[in-house]
Structure 1
Amino acid sequence: MQPDTKQRKPALEVRDLFFSYGKNKVLKGTSFTIEEGKITTIMGANGCGKSTLFNLMTKNLYPRKGNIFLYGKNIQNLGLKDFAKRVSIVHQYNSSADDITVERLVSFGRTPHRKMMQGRSDEDEKMIRWAMEVTNILKYRDREVSRLSGGQRQRVWIAMALAQNTKILFLDEPTTYLDIRYQIEIMKLVKKLNQEYGITIIMVLHDMNQAIHFSDRIIGLKEGEVAVQGAPDEVITEECIRDLYGISLGVTTIEGKKFVLTV
């Protein structure tokens, strides 16, 4: 898989999006554009609408009003099979059968269970192996996923998504429940996928410092609306943090890098 060197264009556009759970209005005319070939992070306080937005962008929910366009095509007009050819998704919560091996789980991204009986093509084998190599799990290929550490399992789920060979990867809280070592490993992997293979990354994160250092663009939500968006160094300020999270935290610069003082 080689990075796309063509001129960048909008990968995804959210236009005037509204969504409600009953009378509870969650998104209120949300609009933004996500550029191709970039890492875009969506962040905000609990209840701001970021999880709902993620589910709308990945076709797990459907908007009450408004549209989402993927390379100019309304995703509501794309069937799930066609959508899966264009984007891959790693959800926050994932589970698998206790006895499933790493290679078999990764292969589901390339050859769904219903297709297994037909065998895998050479192209399937190539993509499955590449996905395991780039996520550094090839050495675990015959091991049961349930016997791996949390960070290793997360890389298996990312590998399964990569096996689809899509231009866009959605990640919902990819570092949740991981210790700091595995958090950094996953975030470095995300950066590698973007920089070396040209994959557009759209992710939801809680950790502000990870968002600063591993994102090209941040979209901050507040009460269902875009409150701020732009480059991390421009967006993450003490004022912005107060507005989004309702808390006063210091922001400093160390060796040219910005950090939020969370303690």
Structure 2
Amino acid sequence: MRYALIADIHSNIEAFEAVIAHARAHGVSRFMLIGDLVGYGADPEAVLERCMALVECKEAVAILGNHDALACARFPCHLNADAQAAIDWTIMQLKPRQLEFLRRLPLMHQENGITCVHASARTPESWRYISTGTEAFESLQAAGTCWAFSGHVHDPALYYSGRDGHMFAFRPAENMAVGVPDRRNWLAIVGSCGQPRDGLTGARYAIFDLERQRLSFFRIPYDHRAAAIKIKAAGLPPRLALHVLGRA
């Protein structure tokens, strides 16, 4: 089975559709939507409708992210002014059934030796970032599975356990499969589909081939200008459009 690991879509339907199409072309049969479906972008309804359809037909599992939790008033989380403005706007756009979908999302999902959680598996409702080997180790220990996949940190990273128990980290190359054998423990930050933070455009996501135990990271081109124009037209903070354009 091949899994598409998609995090931090952030109401960017153009990026999301591009990733779905790319994943299907690469033989993906299961989509793991690893939180922050909404926030920042201008298409929360379209993104949620797409997510709901994938979940309903059993093609996907969706996980709660911190922006999703704020949108449906489930868990508290501090956001900066731009992010909070986007959430306030998002809440006004969503229909009751879309809010109910968010309220029902789990904080974590496990299957086939895989854990998917938006932030750290150690108290996931606290939205801890994973940016060090120690934080990756704590999350893997809490997850209790061979592989863990997370978002929240918008830049991709891969952590693994050495024979002496120490955690090692590296930045994975794009479009290149990495062996992730089950004799070790692995935690991957899959990157942001809809709100990049590295000064580049493109939708980030990863594909995990369970049988071959290989993980590939991708950056997919899409109509980022259209997504940015919508953000500006909605009256959302201009910096959010600049992120999409790779200028902030």
Please report the TM-score for the alignment, with normalisation by the length of structure 1: 0.32
More strand by percentage? 1
Please report the TM-score for the alignment, with normalisation by the length of structure 2: 0.34
The higher radius of gyration belongs to 1
